[in-house]
Chains A and B, each alone.
Chain A
């Protein structure tokens, strides 16, 4: 099915959805912030 093949090809071309150094930095910053909040919550619990 040529139409389906064209659609799959178009979809796969969108991968990876986002890939840049800045995104990676933001992503890891959010990650660390959340881990820190979790750590604070554990300290509060204790």
Chain B
């Protein structure tokens, strides 16, 4: 999880800054955070009281912008661009990177056509450059580009900020995993017990046979 280690300091810095800024300067700070090349987690900043208080003020667009970067995608921005501040190139790049993480949440194999449509990329070369230079080198995804099948096989993707409704599902999955592991452990222990019992029976049987052989030998002599 080196991506988390890398951005931990950045998150701490922007949270501290958000606690001492208000109004427009807080808005500018949000633009700076959503433009920073190594920052991909925004929940911590979203939960700073000053940021929450932007709601309903003339600067609430910056709160919406931060929410977009925490949970949204490039398509979400395009369908709401009228109500959001215009994005600088760094923000556009970051939102596209975050869009790849969202796509990787549901599928392990991302077809190029979906990616090109989702990211507004016109050709494969540009798409592959983006995936290699701006995603894999940034450490947010690891995987394999399959030119023949025109798809990107994701082996690892950094986690995005959780939407509140996702927590239940995650806990459910962890519980299932825990139960599976417990059941497996129990069945292994049962198998070990079974093997011990069988080996005891086998030894007993072998002893009986040897005793019988000895008896017969004695009776013969």
Residue from A2, A3, A12, A13 in contact with B174 in the complex, judged by beta carbons closer than 8 Å: A12
Residue from B43, B159, B161 in contact with A13 in the complex, judged by beta carbons closer than 8 Å: B159
Residue from B47, B162, B167, B174 in contact with A6 in the complex, judged by beta carbons closer than 8 Å: B162
The yes or no answer to A22 lying at the interface (CB within 8 A) is no
Total number of A-B contacts with CB less than 8 angstroms?
53
What is the minimal beta-carbon distance from B169 to any residue of chain A, in angstroms? 9
Question: What DSSP secondary structure best describes chain B's contact surface?
Answer: helix
Give the interface size bracket for A toward B. Answer: 10 to 19
In the complex the two chains form, is B174's CB within 8 Å of A8's CB? Answer: yes
Known: A10-B1, A10-B156, A14-B156. A2 touches B161 (CB 8 A): yes
Residues of A within 8 A of B119 (CB): none
What is the minimal beta-carbon distance from B1 to any residue of chain A, in angstroms? 5
In the complex the two chains form, is A7's CB within 8 Å of B159's CB? Answer: yes
- Which 8 interchain pairs have the tightest Cβ spacing? A6-B159, A10-B159, A9-B159, A2-B43, A7-B1, A5-B162, A12-B173, A3-B4
Other A-B pairs beyond A6-B161, A9-B170, 14, CB < 8 Å: A2-B44, A2-B162, A3-B11, A5-B159, A5-B170, A6-B159, A8-B170, A9-B159, A9-B162, A12-B174, A13-B104, A13-B105, A13-B157, A15-B173
